[in-house]
Chain A
Amino acid sequence: MDQGFFLLFATVSVITALTVVLARNPVHSALALMACFLQISAIFVLLEAPLLAVIQIFVYVGAIMVLFLFVIMMIDVREAVLQRFVPGGNLPALVLLVLLGVEMLVLVLLSERFSVTEPVATRGGEIRALSTTLFADYLLPFEVASVILLAALVGAIVLARKESG
């Protein structure tokens, strides 16, 4: 049951990820990336992390992709649409990528530590326990992350503002 769902979500996410890279139109890339994020959030549900799945949909699909689509709308992509994807255009990078992928897959498949099938005690996704952990043990990183978000907010406004302002 779980395995069937995993295979379904994994297949669709890989196909949509390939579409992101191969599509010529950035709008098509953005929509395919949105579908890919939805599949990944379904995989988070399979991993019994429901809060992460909801955050994934809110933040990525709801905020980041809308930001991308707004920027695509603002700037003129007609010139960029015309350039096509040439895999042979950058041969060293392509060879490096193939080597990287083969190496990682071989290491994962040959290692015995990755073959565990039983997760540790199933927690059923206790969001209360997760938030207690987040706000008790990881309070300082949480506050640092919020300060970083504030700095990014101010920085984005300053960067995108017109010079004369």
Chain B
Amino acid sequence: MMVPLWWYISLAVVLFVIGAAGVLLRRNILVVLMSLELLLNSVNINFIAFGRYYYDDFRGQVFAIFVIAITAAEVAVALGILVALVRNKSTLKVDDVTMMKG
């Protein structure tokens, strides 16, 4: 028995909302970054599911590969910024990072 498409979409919706909750409600920078990873992964599920159910070529999988590559770059830069931040200002709370007066 095949899995209907909306099951995958619903799973991606649930994971996306959980990840967004982590980004918006948590105050720990590390957990915020991990929740971002969760968001990007739920989007990847959508890409591959739509590509499999609607198109005969590999566009969904190719796009997911690019998303994964860009995510790796983003994590490397974000953790570099985090290490520099902790060295200058010993905090891990997003509310305490107001050096740029944003």
Cβ B10 vs Cβ A85 within 8 A: no
Q: Which of B39-79 contact A (CB under 8 A)?
A: 41, 44-45, 48-49, 52-59, 61-62, 64-66, 68-77, 79
Residues of B contacting A1 with CB < 8 Å? 1
Q: Which A residues touch B69, using CB under 8 A?
A: 145-146, 148-149
Within 8 A of B (CB), among A138-159: 138, 141-142, 145-146, 148-149, 151-153, 155-159
B-side interface mostly: helix
A148 to B76, CA, bound (A): 11
Distance in angstroms between the alpha carbons of A1 and B72 in the assembled complex: 34
Name the CB-closest residue of A to B9: A108
B97 close to A (CB within 8 Å):
no
Residues of A within 8 A of B1 (CB): 1-3
Partner of A76, one of B18, B26, B90: B90
Task: Tell me how far the C-beta of B42 lies from the nearest C-beta in chain A, rounded to whole angstroms.
Answer: 8
Q: Is the CB of A89 within 8 A of B53?
A: no
| Known contacts A17-B15, A17-B18, A48-B52: A93-B24 contact under CB 8 Å | yes
B55 touches A20 (CB 8 A): no
Q: A71-B83, A80-B30, A120-B55 are in contact. Are A43 and B73 (CB under 8 A)?
A: no
Chain A positions within 8 Å of B71 at CB level? 59, 64
Q: A48-B52, A71-B82, A121-B56 are in contact. Are A80 and B73 (CB under 8 A)?
A: no
- Determine chain A's interface SS by DSSP, over half rule: helix
Interface residues of A (CB under 8 A from B): 1-3, 6, 10, 13-14, 17-18, 20-21, 26, 29-30, 33, 36-37, 40, 43-44, 46-49, 51-52, 55-56, 59-60, 63-64, 67-68, 71-72, 74-77, 79-80, 83, 85, 87, 89-90, 93-94, 96-97, 100-101, 104-105, 108-109, 114-121, 129-130, 133-134, 137-138, 141-142, 145-146, 148-149, 151-153, 155-160, 162
19 interchain pairs, CB-CB under 8 A? A3-B7, A13-B11, A13-B15, A14-B11, A17-B38, A21-B31, A21-B35, A30-B34, A33-B37, A76-B90, A97-B20, A130-B62, A138-B62, A145-B66, A148-B69, A152-B74, A156-B79, A159-B83, A160-B84
Residues of chain B having any CB pair with chain A under 8 Å: 1-11, 13-22, 24-28, 30-31, 33-35, 37-38, 41, 44-45, 48-49, 52-59, 61-62, 64-66, 68-77, 79-84, 86-87, 90-93
